[in-house]
Copies of this chain bind each other. A is one copy, B any other.
Amino acid sequence: MYPNIRKRISKKITKAMFDFNLLEEGDKVLIAISGGKDSSTLLQELAYRRGKIDPSYLLEAIYIQADFTETNPQDFLREMCQNLSIPLHFLNVGVQQRLKNNRKLNCYWCSTQRRTELIHFALQNGFNKIALGHHLDDMVETLLMNMVYKGEISGMAPKLIYNKYPLSIIRPLCYCEEKEIILYAKDAGFLQYSCTCNFSKNSHRKRIRSEIHSLTQGNSTYKQNLFKSMRNIHID
């Protein structure tokens, strides 16, 4: 039914690897997986590619469990990692219990807490790359959200090199559209098992998502143009 979707995703990852020099021989890569379709797709692809399409690198996975989530993808993740022979770590982060009095939980707070713990874990365990499953739609949404709500042009980079740590964050799915990842996950047979955080979805992001669909008229080239524009800046 989706004969070429694996090839298509793989080609786009190859292009990202090449354009942004994401991975090198001997890298120690930690992939953050959530049980959702995006990071599951990335995990499968990286596991398949390393030493073949990609250089040889160490690959391990981590699942960060927050204290408030009801979803429980551990069994799904354990099985998937076992099938791919990828070591899997679990890390508990008390996102909710760290909240100060009268503060309400939100996606920004949670992701900051989890990001901090993820970086600590990577540094303590000798990883030099963290791979995240963000795709083209995530990146374009973040760009537009930051422009509209923060008045700044900023966003997720395909490769973010930290100056403070011997660590980079890479996003190999940066050229893949969400709709392609859905097809991949269907084809690979894990879409129905994958699950993500069901805490209130960020309403700004939701709104911006539909605005982008309208702005780009559902045209992939226009969406890619938005992504491309971040690296093509001509302001006096």
Q: Does A214 contact B (CB under 8 A)?
A: yes
User: Which chain B residues lie closer than 8 Å to A216 at the CB level?
Assistant: 148
How many chain copies? 2
Q: How many residues of A contact B (CB 8 A)?
A: 32
Q: Tell which of B144, B152, B161, B222 touches A233, judged by Cβ atoms closer than 8 Å.
A: B152
User: Which chain B residues lie closer than 8 Å to A222 at the CB level?
Assistant: 148-149
Shortest CB distance A198–B (Å): 26
Q: Does A200 contact B (CB under 8 A)?
A: no
Shortest CB distance A148–B (Å): 5
Q: Tell which of B160, B215, B234 touches A153, judged by Cβ atoms closer than 8 Å.
A: B234
Show 23 residue pairs from A and B whose CB-CB distance is below 8 angstroms, ordered by the A residue: A146-B229, A147-B226, A147-B229, A148-B215, A148-B216, A148-B222, A148-B226, A150-B225, A151-B224, A151-B229, A151-B232, A152-B228, A152-B233, A153-B153, A153-B234, A154-B234, A154-B235, A155-B235, A211-B211, A211-B214, A214-B214, A215-B215, A233-B233
